[in-house]
Chains A and B, each alone.
Chain A
């Protein structure tokens, strides 16, 4: 579905590479969490996939096509909900369709349906300021889905939420992923979140990132919180934490 082939990248102002000859492959329908210490370049991987940065060398392939030949192919959900304050929730949610030049009325119908699925129909004519953090993230996710992209990149979407909202948003996200047949790449620095959500975890602690250590999460869906407290998962958790510790500079 998504493949990195020998991708290297460095920021212009930076002498050192942040990503060096990175190869990885994501299969259709997977839920992959990328875990790594802050500043290691996880978000840069997303920026490369979105073409917000250009790879120094190497290719990024999405469904057998080089992303350089594609436009509007990805569903990117940034850390901050980035809902536009002067647009209502409905107008925010259909923005990707509007940019694609689709008929506004049809876009509106699709967005309304999505908001109803997400339990936000009552808020469609409200402005972002009128919504709680969790609702805003749900609206932002609805907007991401309306890009129509098969691959969704979620960059620490729940990091700004309080602990309780965060837990329920994680469960909500799993439900949506199970229902929607999407491939998700999810950045987090929370090991438990990664274990609870993903089919596979990509972990890195080195800089530049040369490869991801891939760890499969041996759990079925639907999942419960207690499942991540079982001995095999706790062992993976320990392994992950040890891997992450290597890259932490105090």
Chain B
């Protein structure tokens, strides 16, 4: 708890100022107070937590899983073959220069209002940090360690499995911690642009009703969901990558 003391103080100050400002402005549709948002969450808890949160989480998790597979496969392929690396690396970079949120309506046109148009937006946003980080991780192995394994008669596969793969794990976890909030954002934005359920969709619907607290309520839940997911990854990381910072 001591570790978080300063961030708790900053958060309390932030919310106190927000509360004061909201009470001063006194226009809920422009700036709802934190207490009003909490009240709203409580009031709509059933529909928010049982309908819209699962819808968004489904997109987030599916997008994240596809991104992990895609990112790891791309990174491994680029590490194994220089030719593949030269062919793919620029394309991976270019995908990030495209304003993906602007493309979302086109995806909806192509794939309809179902889940896949939204998963695609999420994947396009999240696979990038995973690919680049895992690729860097695979390259991070020490040349002299690789050479030592070669003197034992190790094949390329041995070097990959016994050296490169474990060495890339800390990078993989860093990438996940970046990718999780991005996937939540990706899911929410795509819902905002066209969906029939989900926290992003709900927030947009409240916007049309000029319900400030209703707009913020799903956003708060989204942030909490991302926080919890990142914390789960932290726990996994501490269990799996005990040697971190010692390489």
Contact = CB atoms under 8 A, between A and B. Distances in A.
Nearest to A72: B153
A163 interface: no
B82 interface: no
Contacts of B154: 99
Interface string A63-107: 000000001111010101010111000000001101110000000
A74 B145 CA distance: 16
- Main secondary structure, interface of B, reads helix
Interface string B149-164: 1111110001000110
A127 B166 CA distance: 15
Interface in B202-247: 241-243, 246-247
A95 B153 CA distance: 11
Interface string B116-155: 0000000000000000000000000010110111111110
Contacts of A73: 153
B151 A50 contact: yes
B247 A95 contact: no
Please tell me the size bucket of the interface on B.
20 to 34
A9 to B, nearest CB: 16
B245 to A, nearest CB: 9
Contact of A100 (B142, B150, B153, B247): B153
Nearest to B141: A84
Nearest to B143: A52
B163 A82 contact: no
Interface in A28-64: 50-52
B59 to A, nearest CB: 34
A62 B241 CA distance: 41
Contact of A52 (B150, B158, B241, B243): B150
Contact of A84 (B145, B150, B151, B152): B145
A99 B148 contact: no
A85 B140 CA distance: 14
B193 to A, nearest CB: 43
B151 A52 contact: yes
B168 to A, nearest CB: 11
Interface in B164-209: 166
A52 B145 CA distance: 12
A76 B148 contact: yes
A129 interface: yes
A129 B154 CA distance: 25
Contacts of B144: 78, 80, 82
A147 interface: yes
A79 B101 CA distance: 53
A72 B152 contact: yes
A85 B153 contact: no
B162 A99 contact: yes
Given A78-B144, A99-B162, A147 B243 contact: no
B243 A74 contact: no
Contact of B148 (A78, A98, A129): A78
Contacts of A71: 153
B147 A95 contact: no
Interface of B: 142, 144-145, 147-154, 158, 162-163, 166, 241-243, 246-247
Given A52-B147, A52-B151, 13 more contacts: A50-B151, A51-B150, A51-B151, A72-B152, A72-B153, A76-B151, A78-B147, A82-B142, A82-B148, A84-B145, A127-B243, A128-B246, A129-B243
Interface of A: 50-52, 71-74, 76, 78, 80, 82, 84-86, 95-96, 98-100, 127-129, 147
18 contacts: A51-B150, A51-B151, A71-B153, A72-B151, A74-B151, A76-B151, A78-B144, A84-B162, A84-B163, A85-B247, A86-B166, A86-B241, A86-B242, A95-B149, A95-B152, A99-B153, A99-B162, A128-B246
